[in-house]
Amino acid sequence: MKILVALKQVPARDLPVVADSARTWIDESGLTYEMNEPDAYALEAALRLKEAEGGEVIAVSCGPERVQAVLREALAKGADRAIHIAVDGEAARGTDPSATARLLEMAAREEQPELILTGLQSDDTGSGQTGVILAARLGWPHATLVVAIEPSAGEVRVKRELEAGWFQHVTLPLPAVLTVQSGISRLRYATLMGIKKAKTKEIRRVEAPAEALAAGLRLKQLAEPRRQRETQFLEGSPAEQAAQLVEKLRFEARVL
């Protein structure tokens, strides 16, 4: 089975993220980047399908030169080749998921995979829409929040997560787009051999056409989250913080 996996590079999730002085984007100085976690699960699912069924896994990512790091990581974990759709500046921010979907659509039309996998959402802009828009643009069926994938002749049966602990199986004809939920399976680490091999694998670079980048939804401003409760910050050493907390839980909040 030929599988295209769309991967996004996002700011490392443990680092603080602050708005730039114009408040139109984040301050990118000093940021480090990593593979978007749900996309890592999509990649893992693709590699497992390839191991079970044979075929090819092609990783694709849109963004500036630095996104080649996640493609290299995908190659080291077992992807066969990669496509870097080069886009820089404001267009690379992915604030309108339709623009990203249009770029991925180009790669999909060229590669004609049977299955496209991607994470259900990104840890940075968090639209959670790119895979679904991509499917609509290709005219392919899709399923979101996928936690298990069973391919058979010409179709795929997936297990979808619903709300509040419910699940559902859905069968779709191929080709199809699936957006994968985190936790679908244990993630593998790249082996030393894999990392070595990745250096010989191809990352094909294509330029994003300008017309693909028009946005219908524009990020006007980044704001600080509003405080929803009167938060008391308890200061001091850990012991002092603990003493204040227990006192307040007993006599102020009265929950003990």
CA 154 to CA 14: how far, in whole Å?
41
Residues 141-170, interacting with other proteins (CB under 8 A) = 141-145, 161-170
Q: Which of 12, 109, 191, 234 binds other proteins (CB under 8 A)?
A: 234
Of the two residues 19 and 69, which places its CB atom closer to other proteins in the complex?
Answer: 19
Of the two residues 192 and 239, which places its CB atom closer to other proteins in the complex?
Answer: 239
CA 34 to CA 252: how far, in whole Å?
43
Q: Which stretch binds other proteins (CB under 8 A): 48-56, 72-80, 95-103, 106-114?
A: 95-103
Of the two residues 14 and 207, which places its CB atom closer to other proteins in the complex?
Answer: 14
Q: Residue 232's Cα: distance from chain center in Å? A: 35
Residues 104-143, interacting with other proteins (CB under 8 A) = 123-129, 132-133, 135-137, 141-143
CB 203, min distance to other proteins, A: 27
Environment class of residue 29 by beta-carbon count within 10 Å: exposed (0-12), middle (13-18) or buried (19+)?
exposed
Q: Which of 30, 193, 200, 224 binds other proteins (CB under 8 A)?
A: 224
Of the two residues 68 and 98, which places its CB atom closer to other proteins in the complex?
Answer: 98
Closest CA to 86 of 242, 203, 233, 187: 203
CB 15, min distance to other proteins, A: 9
Q: Are strands 9-11 and 33-35 parallel, antiparallel or unpaired?
A: antiparallel
| 199 lies in the binding site for other proteins (CB under 8 A) | no
Number of residues engaging other proteins in binding (CB under 8 A): 78
Residues 52-91, interacting with other proteins (CB under 8 A) = none
Per-residue buried b or exposed e for 157-196, using 16+ beta carbons within 10 Å of the residue's own CB = ebbbbeeeeeeeeeebebbbbbbbbbebeeeeebeeebee
